[in-house]
Structure 1
Amino acid sequence: MNSFAHSRMAWVVWGIGVFAYAVAVMHRGALGVAGLEAAAHFGTTAGVVSTFVVLQLAVYAVAQVPVGAMLDRFGSRAVITTGSLITGVAQVLLAVVDDLPLAYVARVLLGIGDACIFNSVLRLLPRWFTPRAVPVLSQVTGMAGAVGQIAAVGLVLPLIQHLGWTQGLLVATISSALAASMALLGIRNAPPGQESSTVADSWREMPRQVAGVLKHPATQLGFWIHFTCGFTYNTFVFMWGMPYLVISQGLTQPLAGVLFTLLSVAGMVAGPIIGTLTARHPLRRSTLALLVVGALVVTWTAVLLWPGRAPLALLVLLVLVIAVGGPGTGIGFDFPRTSLPHTRLGAANGVVIAGSFTGSTVLILLMGVFLDLISGGRSSYTADELRLAWTLQAPFFIVGVAGILTTRNALRRRMADDGVIVPTWREVADRIRRYRS
């Protein structure tokens, strides 16, 4: 297929996958925007509700590698269909129960179902589209997550507020049944006439194959980029962003909702830009990721050190930079794509996806425990307590940057063995000067 001369079927297959992913993110993010309503429904505190999110994200992260292995074996169609059905069942269960143990079961199921979708859509892209189009389309796929997050704010939250917890969630769950039906009927793992994109490893061989994927420096670099660019985004969106904006920064809930919408829209704008830069400058992909991380560190430092409430303009800047961190995670997927066979991309991308979700799971949990400790078990937190909780990000950034630099060096040594040398910035500058002279 020539660049962007892709068949209509390619766009249909991808579009269905994107819709399924948006639906999964909508359900994933529902508790992040309806945390107060969830606390009221279950008669508990926001700190306990945060454990719902932690459990879901932990399951999502842990499930990535086994789901990726299943994806390599059975293909995207089967995994997306199954994942959408599991997600729907999870939300139905969450809607009809009112005790915490069953609510935790629902979040475990949601984490498993959610883990099946995004990786499956990414795995379709190299089969249906040209290599140059894949980085951009990967970012556009990620933008569907922003659409899903907007739907969580603009659809699920109003449904819960107007129809009540049970009826609101049940109505929203119809979308999962639709996504599963569309995936089953419309998705194909590879274009007609092309060889199967799945592998027939025996169950005994799968651990060895997955271990090989885990050991590859491209997979490891992708993991650390995803971790460092994305843990703050997930923590902000799924749990502690809304309480921070409302309680610590004194914004009204509608205004905080506007900032959440801005975050989603900004991520949609930034995604194709980062995807284009990734495709045009493949030897500088990790540098682009480090620039995103640097912007996150600088902006969070400014907001957290600001005496009292930060100006609205600075909060808008923070939201915009966090939004760029979302697409920044997508840079991580490009390293396995260009270094590993496509039949192993399910497992490799699963490892990468686990990056930010591992980080955010731990951070959300730490923030919840920390807040409960310093608040003495109160059901609400003060502005200073939330500000202190967000400073717990610092060691995550340090570990993440160290991981990026270490694994980048390992990958570049392997690339050098294959004859691909990444020039230093001094060499690039000398080349530019010679060209201009």
Structure 2
Amino acid sequence: MSTFGQQAVYTPTSRLTDRAYLAWATVAIAYAIAFLQRVSPQSVSLSFMHDFNTDAAGVAMLASSYFWGYTLMQIPAGLLVDRYGVKRVVLGSMIASSLGSAAFALAPDLLDVFVARLIVACGDALVFTALLKLVAQSFTDERFGTMSGISQLSGYVGGMIATTPLAAAVSGFGWRACFLFIACVGLANLAFARLALKPDPASHSNKTLREVVTAAGQSLTHIANWGCALTFASHFAVVTTLSGVWGIPMVAHFFNISQTAAGTPLLAFMIGNMLGSIFLGHAADRAAAALDSALIRICALRMVLTAMLLPPLAHAFGLVYVTIVFTALGLVAGGTVPLVLKCVKKLYTASLIGVGASVNTTAAGIFAGASQTVISFAMLAASHVPGTDAVHNKAAIGDAGYTALIVVLLLMSLPGIAGPLLMRSKLIAR
């Protein structure tokens, strides 16, 4: 009788807990797919250029279309989740991402590619905000930190799949078949999520989109907040361009190897990112009193590691050396985000942290999207100067082109030095 009573008490709780984990898993899978979509251009770029008879400018368009769509949806993302609830937003996000992925796989020309990737990005932009809200709603305070950390790691798993595994699949089956498969996985996850996610309670939020935009505009009247936006935008644009757009093509060119083999250093980067976000996140707590100095040092270290990928050094020291550099870059990148988030909380306070996150992510998307055109122009211009190794092939990028890439990335890193200096006085005051 006692045992029966215990079952009566604990079984409903256990079922609710199991359902919470199942619901979380569906949204975590959606976030992994979103991260995969963001960094996938590096694994498909060579096949993409061949199929559409384009060059680095076409790859830049492929990458920038995602950044622009992602940026457009950042400001309203938090409002949509608060107003309409997790389930409706997540299901809409999954539909957009899956249909956009299928449209990308079937796109006959570059204009259709741009539109398809824009749709994918608009859907993917909502996922992480919804995932964090779901964690806050479904788990106790004692488990919130653990579950939010695991949620972030789910994205890195998607990033890992976008390296060597995706490159191998593209080599074996073609990029169109791969993205059709991704669309099918997304639709299957959509059906699962529809069953696993609980209906959302009616929202009591009085916020309007106009109020959110007004608050974001007011935040940009403070120079320290500009410094925070510059810091994160510099980090995001540099790391994503290197690890998500040009990393695999660059390594493949350096060592004349397949995209599958060239994905190994980028896989190491993602693993480093995971480890950095876990272990260096602890260090961020100890650096709370000197966030500005810590961000300047970590930006300088990122610049040194980026410069270590210059073609002469890569050719001289080999693939193992490049893999080690990418691993170190991953550790640094993973450790940067906790430092920036601490700055956001200090500058915006807890009541406006959503606005702070939107402002920083929007700035990062704009900087990353706009920079792709500049990067592609610099790479093509340098590669096709008479006397370089790619001058006879319009689509080819040679050592000079990848040298130009590294130089532009170093210039793009400079706001990461200036940003903390602009935040210094306000961080000290708080």
Q: CA separation in 1, counterparts of 2:199 and 2:297?
A: 35
* Alpha-carbon distance in 2 for matches of 1:347, 1:77: 22
What does 1:267-416 align with in structure 2 at a 5 Å threshold?
Answer: 267-279=273-285, 281-304=287-310, 306=312, 309-312=315-318, 313-327=320-334, 328-337=336-345, 344-376=352-384, 378-413=394-429, 415=430
Could you say if the C-alpha distance between residues 253 and 281 of structure 1 is closer, same or farther in structure 2, counting changes exceeding 3 Å? same
Is 1:332–1:352's contact at 8 Å kept on the other side of the alignment? no
Instruction: Give the one of 132, 140, 144 matched to 1:122.
Output: 132
Matched, 1:244 2:250: yes
Distance in 1 of aligned mates of 2:288 and 2:147: 16
Q: Does the CA-based 8 Å contact 1:57-1:111 persist in structure 2? A: yes
Task: Say if 1:62 and 1:262 are closer, same or farther in 2 by CA, change over 3 A.
Answer: same
- Unpaired runs of 5+ residues, structure 1, are 1-5, 416-437
**In 2 relative to 1, CA 171–31 (structure 1 residues): closer, same or farther, beyond 3 Å?**
same
Aligned residue in 1 for 2:174: 164
Q: Structure 2: how far apart are the matches of 1:351 and 1:390?
A: 27
Decide whether aligned partners of structure 1 residues 180 and 326 sit closer, same or farther in structure 2, where only a CA change above 3 A counts.
farther
Q: Give the Cα–Cα distance (whole angstroms) in 2 for the partners of residues 138 and 222 of structure 1.
A: 22
Give 1:3's aligned residue.
none
Is 2:224 aligned against 1:199? Answer: no
Q: Which 10-residue stretch deviates more, 265-274 or 175-184?
A: 175-184
Which stretch of structure 1 is more off in the superposition, 216-225 or 206-215? 216-225
Structure 2 gaps of 5+ residues are 1-15, 385-392
What letter matches 1:394 in structure 2?
L
Aligned residue type for 1:366? V
- In 1, are the aligned partners of 2:311 and 2:402 still within 8 Å (CA)? no
Q: Match for residue 432 of structure 1?
A: none
Aligned to 1:419: none
Residues 397 and 339 of structure 1: CA distance in aligned 2, closer, same or farther (over 3 Å): closer
SS at 1:412 equivalent: helix
- Shift of the 74–330 alpha-carbon distance from structure 1 to 2, 3 Å rule, reads farther
Alignment of 1:80-119 (within 5 A): 80-119=90-129
- Two-structure CA RMSD over aligned residues (Å): 3.3
Contact 1:39 1:49 (C-alpha < 8 Å) held by counterparts = yes
Residue 200 (structure 1) shift: 2.1
Contact 1:47/1:369, CA 8 A, preserved across alignment: yes
Contact 1:233 1:325 (C-alpha < 8 Å) held by counterparts: no
Task: Give 1:383 shift.
Answer: 1.1
User: 1: CA distance between counterparts of 2:142 and 2:222?
Assistant: 23
| Structure 1 residue 370, shift from structure 2 partner | 1.3
| Between 215-224 and 135-144, the greater mean CA deviation after superposition | 215-224
Q: Distance in 2 between matches of 1:64 and 1:102?
A: 23
Mapped partners of 2:21, 2:152: distance in 1: 16
Moved more, 389-398 or 313-322: 313-322
Q: Quick one: structure 1 residues 370 and 198, their matched pair in 2 at CA, closer, same or farther if it must change by over 3 Å?
A: farther
1:152 — aligned with what?
162
Q: 1:87 to 1:130 in 2, by over 3 A?
A: same
Q: TM-score, normalised by structure 2?
A: 0.81
Please give the alpha-carbon distance, in whole angstroms, between the structure 2 residues aligned to 1:381 and 1:397: 23
- What secondary structure does 2:315 align onto? coil
CA distance in 2, matches of 1:249, 1:154: 16
Decide whether aligned partners of structure 1 residues 245 and 305 sit closer, same or farther in structure 2, where only a CA change above 3 A counts.
closer
Name the CA distance, whole Å, in 1 between partners of 2:22 and 2:350. 21
Specify whether residues 207 and 350 from structure 1 end up closer, same or farther in structure 2 by C-alpha distance, changes over 3 A only: closer
Judged with a 3 Å threshold, the aligned counterparts in structure 2 of structure 1 residues 216 and 114 are, in CA distance, closer, same or farther, namely: farther
**Deviation by residue 1:57-86 (Cα, 9 ceiling, x = unmatched):** 122123311323333433433322222211
Q: After TM superposition, give the deviation of residue 234 of structure 1 in Å.
A: 0.2
Distance (Å, rounded) in 2 between the aligned partners of 1:390 and 1:218: 28
Identity %: 18
Q: Where does residue 21 of structure 1 map in the other structure? A: 31
